[in-house]
Amino acid sequence: MAKKKINTTPLVDPIKAALVKTTGVLLKSSKDVDEQLGELLLDVQQTNVYGDGKTFVDLVPLSRLKSIKEEYALLKADPDFDLRDFVTRHFYDATEGVYQRAYESSPDHTPLEHIDELWKFLERRNRVGRGSLLALPHTYIVPGGRFNEQFYWDTYFIMLGLASTGKWKTIEGMMKNYAHQIRKYGYIPTANRSYLLSRSQPPFFSHMVRLLAYKKGKSVLREYLPYLTAEYRFWMRGRTKLANSEHHAFRRVAQMPDGSILNRYYDNKATPRPESLREDIETAEQSGRKDSSRLYLHLRAAAESGWDFSSRWFMDLLDIRTIHTADIIPVDLNALLYHLELTIADGYKASFNLVKSRQYRQKAKARQKALNEYSWDETTGFYKDYNFHHGTHTSVDSLAGVFPLLVGAASQEQADRVAEVIRKDFLKPGGLVTTNIENGQQWDSPNGWAPLQWAAIEGLRNYGHDDLAEEIARRWVELNEKVYASSQKFVEKYNVESDDGLGGGGEYVLQDGFGWTNGVYEALKRNYRP
């Protein structure tokens, strides 16, 4: 078929011809794992056959699922039936013998040498989908441990490390994977797993585009403009339905009292997460809520935030059963969408469409105004999440409050006050603590996370607080190196207040690998700044 010629006259938007035509609705062929496995999934997860619920949903069936489920229905009533044995006979781990072996670092390797070798170990390629794993056309880097997929926001921080050593081919491959997913699904899912297709993650795609443009120039902005606008449509879908919606919110958009539009984390489903089915059902049963579907929605929305889980989302800061994520306007999400709007504006400018460029710059300006109106707490001098149901800030100070600095949405005075709070309330011996609430959740005290260290460091640098930024970087790097010296590992999260430095809490054991820790450490160590 002959390709359509694109009219490039000034009167016609040349980007329109390349715009991705998506509905944002999942393809009918993309069934979730719970729909595919039915009762078998429920029984395996409820009886805790595997210590980690993600293990089972990542397995690949050895034959047609219909046949497996039929056999299961016949055999399960047998008093001698062994569920673990049944699963072992009918499913296999596609990573076993290939990616599952433990990486053994040479004791002679420096941390940077270790990471350079580790990137090869964390590299994956699957052009054909298997089980819940969705096919991607290009090579990608996984976080490590239980995470054998290309995770959305992890990838940006992995890219920082790759960029610091010139691994641009790998970066471009991962970018093309995201372009592929946007073409297919209308957005970037949490990761390339069928059970993660109902939600996205913090939208760092525009940061990835900027990173690549830093290397290759403005042509990158033009190339990825259709995909940037498609992602924007995903996050903004439902604006026309706000007036008639409960609390003036629909999917991922919410209308504020002054008429402005801000965003929230959400999920297109309101059922237990297949990978954490047992935990979600237990939380629902213990909560006493009559409408468990609402609780599941809040749990899933928190998973889309990447902060699963944190006191940010709880009414009772110590109790996950009071989670209400979808009632909250998150400061980090709206800061990232501000960055997306500005990047789209620059993409249109690079495409010589100044009308569209001005439109998106105006959208960004309106969001910046609303962000400062509803997220800035003048009393404490810090950015906070906003509960639009109650019309008040939430009570938790978290490192999400640095994101307006990361994207340049704060004034100098606001940034100065944020820096004061960071130094006084968040700076610990090993870097920055996520919150000052200790409740057993992994996105709370005493844990520190690499992406939040980076966001704070870069945000502070943007506003001239270089000394504080360097102090945070030094403490974080030293903590990473301390743990590496004792364990030969880089881990997912760190205890920034303890002697051993190992993070904890949450739904699963501490993971090593670890993609975004490697990337941020490498970028900081090599003084790389995009």
CB of 530 closer than 8 Å to CB of 211: yes
pLDDT more than 70, % of the chain? 93
Point out the least confidently predicted range of 105-119, 365-379, 466-480: 105-119
* Active-site option among 304, 332, 346, 492: 492
Residue 444 is a catalytic residue: no
Domain boundaries, the chain: 265-328
Mean pLDDT for 50-77 is 96
| Beta-strand pair 431-432/427-428 | antiparallel
Point out the least confidently predicted range of 4-18, 56-70, 92-106, 413-427: 4-18
Mean pLDDT for 36-40 is 92
Confidence of residue 22 (pLDDT cuts 50, 70, 90): very low
* Active-site option among 308, 397, 444, 458: 308
Confidence of residue 98 (pLDDT cuts 50, 70, 90): low
pLDDT for the residue numbered 21:
37
Query: What is the C-alpha to C-alpha distance for residues 71 and 90, in angstroms, rounded to an integer?
Result: 10
Query: What is the C-alpha to C-alpha distance for residues 129 and 36, in angstroms, rounded to an integer?
Result: 15
- Residue 374 backbone dihedrals phi, psi, to 5 degrees: -105, -20
pLDDT for the residue numbered 24:
36
Mean pLDDT for 429-450 is 98
Q: Is the pLDDT of residue 375 over 60?
A: yes
Q: Is the pLDDT of residue 69 over 90?
A: yes
Mean pLDDT for 126-139 is 96
- Residue 125 backbone dihedrals phi, psi, to 5 degrees: -150, 125
Confidence of residue 26 (pLDDT cuts 50, 70, 90): very low
pLDDT for the residue numbered 102:
60
DSSP H or E run through 354: helix 354-375
Contacts of 265 (CB under 8 A, 6+ apart): 252, 301, 302, 304, 305, 325, 326, 328, 330, 333
Confidence of residue 100 (pLDDT cuts 50, 70, 90): low
Confidence of residue 247 (pLDDT cuts 50, 70, 90): confident
Query: What is the C-alpha to C-alpha distance for residues 201 and 344, in angstroms, rounded to an integer?
Result: 19
Place of tokens 């993971």: 511
Q: Is the pLDDT of residue 16 over 80?
A: no
pLDDT for the residue numbered 244:
83
Mean pLDDT for 481-487 is 96
Residue 492 is a catalytic residue: yes
pLDDT for the residue numbered 347:
98
Per-residue pLDDT tens over the stretch 145-202: 999 999 999 999 999 999 999 999 999 999 999 999 999 999 999 999 999 999 999 9
Q: Is the pLDDT of residue 136 over 60?
A: yes
Confidence of residue 99 (pLDDT cuts 50, 70, 90): low
Per-residue pLDDT tens over the stretch 510-522: 999 999 999 999 9
User: Which candidate, 491, 502, 452, 504, places its Cα nearest to that of 147?
Assistant: 491
3-state secondary structure 163-192: HHCCCHHHHHHHHHHHHHHHHHHCCCCCCC
Q: How many CB atoms lie within 10 A of CB 109?
A: 15
Contacts of 97 (CB under 8 A, 6+ apart): none
Angle subtended at Cα 386 by Cα 413 and Cα 427, rounded to the nearest 5 degrees: 55
Using the Cα atoms of residue 65, residue 66, residue 67 and residue 72 in order, give the sign of their dihedral: positive
Q: Classify residue 424 by burial, with Cβ atoms within 10 Å: 0-12, 13-18, 19+.
A: exposed
- Residue 484 backbone dihedrals phi, psi, to 5 degrees: -65, -40
Confidence of residue 104 (pLDDT cuts 50, 70, 90): confident
Q: How many CB atoms lie within 10 A of CB 120?
A: 9
Mean pLDDT for 505-510 is 94
User: Which candidate, 259, 318, 322, places its Cα nearest to that of 289?
Assistant: 322
pLDDT for the residue numbered 7:
37
Contacts of 260 (CB under 8 A, 6+ apart): 366, 367, 369, 370, 373
Query: What is the C-alpha to C-alpha distance for residues 512 and 488, in angstroms, rounded to an integer?
Result: 10
Q: Is the pLDDT of residue 101 over 60?
A: no
Query: What is the C-alpha to C-alpha distance for residues 86 and 88, in angstroms, rounded to an integer?
Result: 5
